[in-house]
Amino acid sequence: MIPDILARADSGLSTMARETIAELWDFFCDLDRRITHFDKKIDAVFKASESCQRVARIKGVGPKTATAIVAAVGDGSDFRNGRHMAAWLGLVPRQFSSGDKAVLMGISKRGSQHLRSLLVHGARAVVRTAPNKNDPMSQWANQLRERRGFNRATVAIANKNARIIWALLRTGDHYRAAA
């Protein structure tokens, strides 16, 4: 569409505008080619890694998320348990304490913003499609969504997925959805 507009003499564009738009279009096309190139590289890493494929079987975790998490976390041995990994990703409540009162606020947002956003986006898809499904994870997501709201349910699923990912990486087991 843009090359057609640039090729037409009657488009009403000045020479300067035409040159600028042509440069931007070339830049955009180059970026698109580079993104496609790196997507293929990520897909090749995903297909070659058994850990990535195990992690990607979790609802809300796709090839890109699985590859990014396995690349960042490895086998999960840096974390004592799944909660520590979820905390490292910033998916646990922030705690404010005074005396004998402990108040839990929003998520801490510590750690890798990129990994956290990948998990949250995947969890958002799980929560959004949960009303149409009848599996245990979807039922839990629906109950949580009714009780606490969409966003909290989304973060809770992301937290749960982070813990499941840690368990899969540490044990080497395959993901089995709850029956």
Dump pLDDT digits (tens) for 38-58: 999 999 999 999 999 999 999
155 touches 123 (CB < 8 A): yes
Q: Which helix (H) or strand (E) holds 122?
A: helix 113-129
Residue 69: its pLDDT value, please? 96
Residue 42: its pLDDT value, please? 95
Structure tokens at 107: 């998520």
Q: Which helix (H) or strand (E) holds 176?
A: none
Between these two residues, 100 and 52, which has the higher pLDDT value? Answer: 52
Q: Kindly state the average pLDDT of the residues 147-175.
A: 93
d(CA 68, CA 72): 6
Tracing tokens 């749960």 back to the chain, one arrives at 160
d(CA 119, CA 117): 5
Residue 160: its pLDDT value, please? 94
pLDDT at 17 over 80: yes
pLDDT at 179 over 60: no
- Residue 5's pLDDT band, with cuts at 50, 70 and 90, is confident
Q: Kindly state the average pLDDT of the residues 146-161.
A: 94
Q: Kindly state the average pLDDT of the residues 166-175.
A: 91
Residue 108: its pLDDT value, please? 67
